[in-house]
Amino acid sequence: MTSTTPVNAGRATGTPGTIGGVAGAPPAARAAALLERVTGGADSAPAEMTAPFTGLPIATLPQATDADTRAAFAGARRAQPGWAAMPATERQQVLIRLHDLILRHQDEVLDLVQVEAGKSRLDAFDEVAATALVAAYYGKHSARLLAPRRAAGVIPVLTRAGEVRHPKGVVGVISPWNYPLALTAMDVLPALAAGNAVVQKPDNQTALSALWLHELAERAELPADAWQVVLGRGSRIGDAIVEESDYVCFTGSTPTGKHLAGQIARRLTGYSLELGGKNPMVVLPGADVAKAAAGAVAACFSSAGQLCVSVERIYVHESIREAFTQAFVRRTQALRLGATLDYSAGMGSLTSAEQLDTVSAHVADARANGATVLTGGRPRPDLGPLFYEPTILTGVTERARLFAEETFGPVVAVYGYTDVDEAVERANDTPFGLNASVWSGDQRHGWEVATRLKAGTVNVNEGFAATFGSVGVPMGGMKESGVGRRNAAEGLLKYTESQSIAVQRGFRLRPFRGMPPKLWAKGMTASMRALRRLPGR
């Protein structure tokens, strides 16, 4: 097989006066208005960001200093008690209103996400959908999940025990550039629902998308200052965030996550880390080859592979390897690349020059170490400065960097296997454990293989979207892919301190006056034997 060219669905043309000079994007004045929502900006070196589609300026971003960041925390700390005092059911209503506003006003944020991250409109819509789903989930369930809980006390009837949840205080949220809207929502909204205030640091590249959600939250009647956005380089304001937060929620790369965990540990505050992956897909014998090939395209090339849960390794049973590979290559070659703000393209651009360098270097290195390029394998400057073709490799050897390292781009390696145990072992042979995908003609067998994969989420007959959209189950990484989970009850309760209260009535938990301790111990022993048989304890 030789490399062919995926169809070009359009190149972004420079349009004066729009954000990033992208045709059809909101006017530059809109970026300026959103940036007014930022807290602080006294750093003398503002950040100049450019649009991946055009290479033209998005905006000049004010950058916070250490003092600005601490002031944002002080503002959030002042706002937090009033917000926490509001009944949880009223806080829920803010999220429900936000959900409705997101769906109604999605067109503008689809433009912003595309312009800032360079992704296709369908990939940007995934962010809108995830944001709405998570707002609806916590809008419906957070009050119930946070409600005080009764539990059996040590002495039936006489000990009344229960658990109460308190917000942590002010949560620091640090977000990456690849899913700027969805990851803001998934990490910030539950922290707010739990009664915390939030100081968020989005990535400079994609700050406008986060600020758009911030503006909408205000329209949904979130009190001013309960959510503050600071912009800045991690190296400049990271220390202030760690030192001021009552809990840190970080999403980004494993090296940064490890660095922050070391800092946070010295303060003994809580944290969650959502980190990188090298996600495997296992195609079992008997899987529907056409469906698995179509699923692999979405699993590997959504957001040009700049997705923490995207698939970078595929293990296919030898009995169907040839048929699968041919179908996968054919469907990948049919993917339309483009830089337009409409639904005509299947894949967009990489987001930064660093990403383009990494992807190019990984593919060149794999080739030098024996890999064959089945399709793709080259940049596409004719479409935009940061485009790279969706790339399928075979014959990747252990010497290649991308054999084990996360590429975070539109590059996947296909391997054959003969035995399912071997496929499971190879899929698990990685320091990461974020997401995995299993394709099977038999759903029960697929589920059984899924339980053997060491990944925080596993999708059967899907690449990542089934777990990503199922916000009622937790999402997060095993091993070096993270600590803690987002979504579901866990993604809310991590932002709370649990407090246990027990009220003792009429019976001290000590020997009665004058009672020999030995007799007390004997009586208690008999009671415990009896209690163990009591239902509900």
> Which residues contribute to the site for ligand NAD (CB under 6 A)?
174-179, 183, 201, 203, 234-235, 238, 241, 251-253, 256, 259-260, 274-277, 308, 406, 408, 434, 477, 482
| Sheet order of strands, 159-167 included | 149-152, 159-167, 496-504
CA distance 261 to 272: 9
Query: Do β-strands 311-317 and 279-283 pair in parallel, antiparallel, or remain unpaired?
Result: parallel
Q: Quick one: tokens of 469?
A: 């959209």
Catalytic-residue membership of 274? yes
Minimum gap (Å) between residue 460 Cβ and ligand NAD:
20
Neighbours of 356 (CB within 10 A): 20
Catalytic residue chosen out of the listed positions 274, 389, 406, 462: 274
CA distance 39 to 221: 19
Token pair 């700390």 is found at 77
Query: Do β-strands 149-152 and 159-167 pair in parallel, antiparallel, or remain unpaired?
Result: antiparallel
Minimum gap (Å) between residue 17 Cβ and ligand NAD:
29
Q: With respect to ligand NAD, which residue has the nearer C-beta, 395 or 469?
A: 469
Burial class (CB in 10 A: 0-12, 13-18, 19+), 41: middle
Q: With respect to ligand NAD, which residue has the nearer C-beta, 6 or 118?
A: 118
Is the CB of residue 391 less than 8 Å from the CB of residue 337? no
Cα–Cα distances in Å, from 128 out to 100, 328, 345, 413, 507?
Answer: 11, 28, 18, 30, 56
Q: Quick one: tokens of 327?
A: 């179908």
Q: With respect to ligand NAD, which residue has the nearer C-beta, 18 or 175?
A: 175
Q: With respect to ligand NAD, which residue has the nearer C-beta, 39 or 178?
A: 178
Q: With respect to ligand NAD, which residue has the nearer C-beta, 113 or 241?
A: 241
Q: What are the two backbone dihedrals, phi and then psi, of residue 285, each rounded to the nearest 5 degrees?
A: -60, 140
CA distance 331 to 96: 39
Q: With respect to ligand NAD, which residue has the nearer C-beta, 38 or 293?
A: 38
Q: Which residues is 271 bridged to in the sheet?
A: 248
Is the CB of residue 273 less than 8 Å from the CB of residue 456? no
Is the CB of residue 305 less than 8 Å from the CB of residue 463? no
Residue 360: in which H helix or E strand, if any?
A: helix 353-368
Q: With respect to ligand NAD, which residue has the nearer C-beta, 138 or 179?
A: 179
Minimum gap (Å) between residue 240 Cβ and ligand NAD:
9
Minimum gap (Å) between residue 377 Cβ and ligand NAD:
22
Minimum gap (Å) between residue 6 Cβ and ligand NAD:
24
Burial class (CB in 10 A: 0-12, 13-18, 19+), 236: middle
The number of C-alpha atoms within 13 Å of 412 and in the hemisphere containing its C-beta is 33
Query: Do β-strands 496-504 and 159-167 pair in parallel, antiparallel, or remain unpaired?
Result: antiparallel
DSSP 3-state of 88:
helix
Q: With respect to ligand NAD, which residue has the nearer C-beta, 26 or 276?
A: 276
Minimum gap (Å) between residue 134 Cβ and ligand NAD:
13
CA distance 363 to 67: 43
Token pair 């940007």 is found at 124
Catalytic residue chosen out of the listed positions 300, 308, 462, 480: 308
Catalytic-residue membership of 249? no
DSSP 3-state of 278:
coil
**Exposure pattern of 404-416 as b/e (b: 16+ CB <10 Å)?**
ebbbbbbbbbbbb
Minimum gap (Å) between residue 491 Cβ and ligand NAD:
11
Residue 428: in which H helix or E strand, if any?
A: helix 420-428
Minimum gap (Å) between residue 92 Cβ and ligand NAD:
24
Minimum gap (Å) between residue 236 Cβ and ligand NAD:
9
Q: With respect to ligand NAD, which residue has the nearer C-beta, 58 or 373?
A: 58
Catalytic residues: 274, 308
